[in-house]
Amino acid sequence: MARPGTLRRVSVRGAHVGVVAAFTLFSAFPFYWMLVTTFKRTGDLLKRGNNPYLYNDPPTLEHLRVLFVDTLYGRWLLNSAFVGTAVVGITLLLAIPAGYALARLAGRWGEQLGIGIFLTYLVPPTLLFIPLSRVIAHLGLQDSLWALVLVYPSFTIPFCTWLLMGFFKAIPPDLEEAAMIDGCSRLGAFVKVVIPISIAGVLTVVIFSFTLVMQEFVYAMTFISTVSQYTVSVGVPTFLVHGDVYFWGSLMAGCFIASVPIAILYNFFVDRFIAGFTVGAIK
């Protein structure tokens, strides 16, 4: 017979496994379900008596063919990638100097300004999309991906400046001063000394900005109405769901392909984002 101590330990362990399993199921099931649906024949999907967990008919690649051949899905992916790349470029160009300046600004003033910039990250698209739609129309950028390239940095710059400020603060100013004594200019010292050390921070900002661009929905839906100019996050829910006809197979394939790979990439950098989110609340 097991001693009470062992029994207790076994039940604590069982509860732990149970809790972890339940939460994992809750979080990941929709994505598992996308994957299962992707390879199912439509007849199998839309037959009520069928066990939805099984492949009652043999799996098919038809939905993927429809997605890439009959719809503009590939184009949407490229559009998202284009906007993402451009936004990452603009963000780096503006957030790196800003983050560095904030990190080196002495005293409370730098801190306050940093927090002020960070707070604009909390201003949601849903507050600004109406006036912005008008501004975009005035600039003649309706239906153009450039509208998104212009507007998206408004939410990537604040958070990335904040993240980079944290990185640059961790680098002792002595390093740059040493380089400057050796004859580098301040800019030279920054480029040759600070940037190489903080490459992890720069990479984090790249991934983070790119993910935010992939996720954005409200602006893209407001500014763009030509199907060929959609980004992936808008194209799939608006175009593939048309009226009452749902192409579930292609729809789920489109969702899965656009969400899971980037999620895996993001996962490597999560701890850094969280450090940014929690500000100074952790010491």
Distance CA 202, CA 219 (A): 26
If one asks whether residue 106 binds another protein (CB under 8 A), the answer comes out as: no
Question: Two tokens at 192?
Answer: 């040759």
Closest distance between another protein and the C-beta of residue 183, in Å?
22
Query: In terms of C-beta density within 10 A (0-12 exposed, 13-18 middle, 19 or more buried), how is residue 104 classed?
Result: middle
Q: Binders of another protein among 47-86, rule CB under 8 A?
A: 48, 51-53
If one asks whether residue 117 binds another protein (CB under 8 A), the answer comes out as: yes
Which residues are paired to 242 by β-bridges?
245
Q: Binders of another protein among 11-30, rule CB under 8 A?
A: 16, 19-20, 23-24, 26-30
Query: Of 28, 31, 33, 29, which is closest to residue 45 (Cα–Cα)?
Result: 33
Please count the residues of this chain forming the interface with another protein, following the rule CB under 8 A: 93
DSSP code for 58: -
Residues 88, 109, 170, CA angle at the centre, nearest 5°? 55
Query: Of 276, 275, 254, which is closest to residue 73 (Cα–Cα)?
Result: 254
Q: Contact region for another protein (CB under 8 A) — 56-64, 71-79, 149-157, 174-182?
A: 149-157
Closest distance between another protein and the C-beta of residue 68, in Å?
16
Q: Contact region for another protein (CB under 8 A) — 70-78, 131-139, 168-176, 192-200?
A: 131-139
If one asks whether residue 109 binds another protein (CB under 8 A), the answer comes out as: no
Phi, psi of 268 (to 5 degrees): -70, -20
Query: Of 282, 276, 283, 230, which is closest to residue 121 (Cα–Cα)?
Result: 276
Question: Two tokens at 271?
Answer: 């701890």
Task: Pick the closer one to another protein by CB: 189 or 236.
Answer: 236
Contact 92, 206 (CB under 8 A): yes
Task: Pick the closer one to another protein by CB: 1 or 25.
Answer: 25
Phi, psi of 245 (to 5 degrees): -95, 120
Q: Contact region for another protein (CB under 8 A) — 62-70, 121-129, 141-149, 191-199?
A: 121-129
Closest distance between another protein and the C-beta of residue 254, in Å?
7
Distance CA 198, CA 99 (A): 12
Among 222, 224, 229, 230, binds another protein (CB under 8 A): 222
Q: Contact region for another protein (CB under 8 A) — 33-41, 54-62, 63-71, 195-203?
A: 33-41
If one asks whether residue 283 binds another protein (CB under 8 A), the answer comes out as: yes
Interstrand relation of 241-242 and 245-246 (parallel, antiparallel or unpaired): antiparallel
Among 78, 101, 171, 184, binds another protein (CB under 8 A): 101
Q: Binders of another protein among 154-213, rule CB under 8 A?
A: 154, 157-158, 161, 211
Among 31, 55, 82, 239, binds another protein (CB under 8 A): 31
If one asks whether residue 133 binds another protein (CB under 8 A), the answer comes out as: yes
